[in-house]
Structure 1
Amino acid sequence: MHYSKGAPPMLLVQKKKGKMADWGPVVIAVVLFVLLTPGLLFQLPGSGRIVGLGNMQTSVGSILVHTIFFFGLLTIFLIIVPVHIYVG
């Protein structure tokens, strides 16, 4: 950059300010995705029961129910209760 001789001293030194990244939404989405994977912790509706615990199976119904839970909880944590994790 080129500055004229009459430039104020504060313009001669330009500091690059680092922006802090907000990782809260990313962390919340990943944790909810892992915890709400059908069959990992629980499956709703389960195969043969209403709730299956740790059976590592899935069905179309359980995928739809877990998807609704995921987006509902994600909306709550990102919009209603703003979670912020700043790294930088």
Structure 2
Amino acid sequence: MSTDWGTVIVAVSLFILLSPGLLFQIPARTRVMEFGNMSTSGIAILVHAVIYFCIFTILVVAIQVHIHF
């Protein structure tokens, strides 16, 4: 019996990639998008959470990513 690690791997990788200010930030303080500024705001956190939820839902529910070890 093996467990499905697809959702865990997708969730962790998206969390790392979509952390506001790490790779990019939408919206930034002075522009629409900034790269690697390591600062964030409340609206940027909300935008990144919505993007995270949309991509996670598409990958897990619609595409049904499954990884079994």
**Which TM-score applies when normalising by structure 1?**
0.77
Note the 1:8-47 alignment, pairs <5 A: 19-47=1-29
Q: CA deviation at 1:47?
A: 1.3
Larger radius of gyration: 1
Runs of 4+ in 1 over 3 A off after TM superposition: none
| SS of residue matched to 2:31 | coil
In structure 1, the residue matched to 2:50 is 68
Q: 2: CA distance between counterparts of 1:61 and 1:84?
A: 32
* 1-structure distance, mates of 2:8, 2:45: 21
Encode CA deviations 1:23-59: one digit per residue, 9 max, x unaligned. Answer: 0000000000000000000000011000010000100
In proportion to residue count, which structure has more helix?
2
Structure 2 unaligned blocks of 5 or more: none
TM-score normalized with structure 2 length:
0.98
Amino acid at match of 2:15: F
Amino acid at match of 1:54: G
Identity %: 48
Higher RCO (C-alpha under 8 Å, 6+ residues apart): 2
Separation in 1, partners of 2:60, 2:66 = 9
> When the two structures are aligned, how many residues end up with a matched partner?
69
Could you list the runs of 5+ residues in structure 1 that have no partner in the other structure?
A: 1-18
